[in-house]
Structure 1
Amino acid sequence: MPTKRKLRSFTPLLIEAEKRSVKNGVHHAVFTSRFDKYVGDWKNDLKDGKGAFVTVSGKLYEGDWYKGFRHGFGVLSNKLPDNTYKLEYRGEWVRGKPEGVGWRYYGNEDVYFGFWKSGQKHGYGKMWYSDNTFYTGYWNKDQREGLGMFVEVNGNWYEGHWEKNLKSGFGRYYHMHTGQLQEGCWVENICVKSMMLDIDVRQYCDRPTQYPIPMEQLQDSRLILEKSEFWVKQKIGRIDKKLQTCIDKMNST
Structure 2
Amino acid sequence: MEQNIAAARIAFLYPGHAAEDDYPRLAQMVSPAAEVTVVHTAFHEDAHTVKALTEMGSPQRLTEGAGHLEEANLEAVLWTSTSASFVRGIDGIGEQIETLENALHIPASTTAMAFARAIAAINAKRVAIAATYPQDIALLFKAFLEHFDIEVVQIASHGIITAAEVGTLDKAAVLRFATDNNHPDADALLVPDTALHSAAWLEDLEVAAGKPVLTANQVSFWEGLRLCGKLIPQPGLGTLFRMNPWN
State if a TM-score over 0.5 links the two structures.
no
Between 1 and 2, higher relative CO (CA 8 Å, sep ≥ 6) is seen in 2
Q: Which has the larger radius of gyration?
A: 1
Structure number with higher strand proportion: 1
TM-score by length of 1: 0.20
Higher helix share: 2
With normalisation by structure 2, the TM-score equals 0.21
